[in-house]
Structure 1
Amino acid sequence: MLKRHKFLERKRELFFQGVSRSTMKNDIRNFHSLSQLVLSAGHLKPNPAVKHSKTTHFEIEILDAQTRRHICIVDKVTQTSTIHDVKQKLHKACPKWYPSQVGLQIECGGPFLKDYITIQSVAASSIVTLYFTDLGRQVSWTTVFLAEYTGPLLIYLLFYLRISCIYDVKESSRRLRHPVVHLACFCHSIHYIRILLETLFVHKVSAGHTPLKNLIMGCAFYWGFTSWIAYYINHPWYTPPSCGNRQVTVSAINFLICEAGNHFINVILAHPNHTGNNACFPRPNCNPFTWMFFLVSCPNYTYEIGSWISFTILTQTLPVGIFTLLMSIQMCLWAQKKHKIYLKKFNLDMHMKSAIIPFIL
C-alpha cells in the first residue's frame, strides 16, 4: 500500500510538471507571435491633425469719387472674387445702379478697374476702399457697331430711291442717272454689308459696355455724313467724274481690291497664329491680300483708307473727300497707338514695319 501511494504521488507530480511546461510553452509561443505582429506593423504614428483651411474675406468700402461720401460696405468678399462680383453685390445693396453703369477706381482720377480683376490683386489689407463713379446708361459694343453701320446702309438706299420728300419728282423723272450713280450705290452697300457681317460672324466684339452718349455720337457722325454724301451723289443734277469711264473703272476695281483685302486681314486678326502658349503677331500666308503684313502692322486700316480714297475718286464729290480725310486721320491715330503696343509685345516681328502707310507712317 505504501509503495502504491508513493507511486501515485510521483505520477501526480509528473502530471503537474507536464501541464506547467506545456502552459509555459504556449505563453512563450503567444508572446513570440505578439512580438512579430508589433514588429511587422512598424512604428506607431499618431493620427494626423485635421487642418482647417482659412479663407480670407475682404471688406470693401465704396465711396463716391467726387464727394468722398460713404455709399455702402460690401462684406464677405473672398480672394477669388472679381470686380464684377463686387458690382453685383453693390447692385443688390443699391438696386438703382446696374453693374454695367458702375465704374470702380482704386484712387480718384485713376483708371477704372476691369471686371475680370480679382480683389486679391488690388487689396493691401483686409479692408479695401474703392471709389464709385456713375457711368450713366450703358449699351453693349455689338449694339453700337450694328447701329452705326446699319444706319448708313439704309439711309443711302433711301436717297438712291429718290423719294419725293428729298428730291423734286419732276427733276428726278426728267434726268436719267449716270451709270456711276448705280455703281456708287453698289460699292457703298457692299462696304457696309461686309462690316455688318464681320461684326456678327468674324470680329470678337468685346463683351463690355460703353456709355449711351458714345452710341449717339457715333450714329450722328456716320448717319450725318452718309446723308450728306448720298444727297449729292444721287441728286438729279449730279455730274459724273471728269475723266470719264477710265477714272470710274480704275477706282471701282481698286475699291473692290481694298474691300477684299480688308476682309481677309480681319479674318486673320480674328484667328491669330499661336506658337506654344505665347501668341505671335499675325503672319501673311499664301493669300496675296495678307502680304501687306510685311510692310505695316495695321493693314486693315490701310485697306479701309484705300477703299474710301477709291470711293472719293469714283464719285468725285466734296462730302466723300471730307469724310475720307476725317476717317484717315482717325485711323492713323488708332494705328500709331496699336503700333506702339505691338512694338512692346512683338519687338522682333515689328522690325522695319510702318504703322499704316508703308515706309511713311
Structure 2
Amino acid sequence: MKYFLILLLAVTLSNAKIIQRFVAPTNCSACHQEQVKDWMTSLHAKSHTDKNELYHEAVKIVARDLRQPYENVLVKCGDCHNPRLEVAESELDENYMLAKAFVLETTQSEHIDKALTAKHIQNGISCYVCHNVNSIKEKHNDQDVGFNVLEWIPNDTIVGPFTDPNNRAGFHKSEIRDYFVTGNDLCLACHQGQATENKLSVYDTGKELESTNDTRRCVDCHMGSLKQEIIAPNMKPNLAQKRTIRSHLFAGIRNDSKELKEYVNLGIKVIGSTKANIEIENLATHNLPSGFSGRSVVLNLKFLKGTTELSSNKIGFEKVYRNKIGSRTLSYAADRLVSDSTLKPLEKREISIDIPAGTTSIKADLLYYVLAPEVKGSMQIKNDAFTKPYTMKSMTFNLN
C-alpha cells in the first residue's frame, strides 16, 4: 500500500503525460532544423549522465563524499538536469537503498532504475522541456528548482513566444507564454537555487543578475540577437510566416561563442619601471565564472625581454571548496567555502603586479576552465572538452 501511494505521488508530480512524438528532437528538426542543430552543440543537449562525462563523474564524487547511493544524488540533480524524470525523491527510501546495496531487484528498484534510464530523459534539456512548460510556480526557498516549480502542459500543445491557433503546420498546437517574451523566470527555474541538500551548492546566477539592476535578459547574451526567419521552411508558401527568433546555441565557452570573449576587458596601467596594475573588467551581469562550482578563470602573465621569458605569474578567479578532510572538491559535497575570487557582475578590478627588471613586454592570456585542474583530482575525465583551457583573451602589452 505504501509503495502504491508513493508511485501515485510520483505520477501526480509529473503532472502531464509524455507525448511520445515530442520526445526525440529529430522529430522537431523537420520544421526547426537550425534550432535543433544549434541545440545539439549546447550543454542543454548533454545534461543527462549518458552524454556528459563531467556530470556523471560529479554525481559519483558527490555520492561518495555524502555516502549516498549514486541514484539518490542523480534524482536530486535531476530536478534541473532531467526535470521530466518520473521519479519523486520520496521514492528513494530505505528499502530502495537496501536493494541497491545488496544488488537485489525489487518492484520498486525496477521502477526507479527504469525511470532513470528512460529514453525520453536521455536528451536532457530538449525541446520538450522548455517548450512544454505550462506555468512556473513562485519560488519560496532555494530548494524550489526545476521539477519542483515547473508545471507541464497536459496535452500536445507547444509553447513559445508565438501563438498559432490555426495549427498551420499540423503537427502541434502553439500557444504563447510570457516567460518566452519577458523576464528570466524560465532560465532561472534551474539556474538559481540549491542543487543538493548541501547549502553550499547554491547556484546564484539569478541573484547575481538582480544585484546589477541591468535590464538585459539571459537570452540576450546566450541566445544572441533577434533575427527574422521562417521557422518551418517546408511549410506551404501561402502558409509560411516570418518570425522574430533567436539562436538556440545557448552560447558558452564550450561552443567558442564570441559573446563570452567580448564580455571581458583586459588592460594594463604601468606605474614606474617595476610596478603595474592589471585591469580586468567583467561586462557580464553575473559572476565570472558563475554556475557550476568546478569552473575557474585563470590569467597567465609572462614577462618577456624580447622573446626571452624572464618569469611568469598566475592569477585565479574562482571559488575554492574543501571537504571535511581538507581536499579540494565541488560545492555539492563541500564542508566549507575557503575563498571566492570570482569577478562580480560588471566589476572592474585592478591587480597590482611586480615587473621584473629588463621586461619589454607582458604576454597576457585569460583562460577559462570548465573544470579547474585543481578540482579534477580523482575524476576520470577523458573528454578534453571539459578539462582543456579555453582562451577568452590573448594580449601583449609592450612597455617600451
Same fold per superposition (TM over 0.5): no
* Smaller-chain TM-score bracket: under 0.3
Structure (1 or 2) with the greater helix fraction: 1
Structure (1 or 2) with the greater strand fraction: 2
TM-score with structure 1 length normalisation?
0.25
* Higher CA-based Rg: 1
User: RCO (CA 8 Å, sep 6+): is it higher in 1 or 2?
Assistant: 2
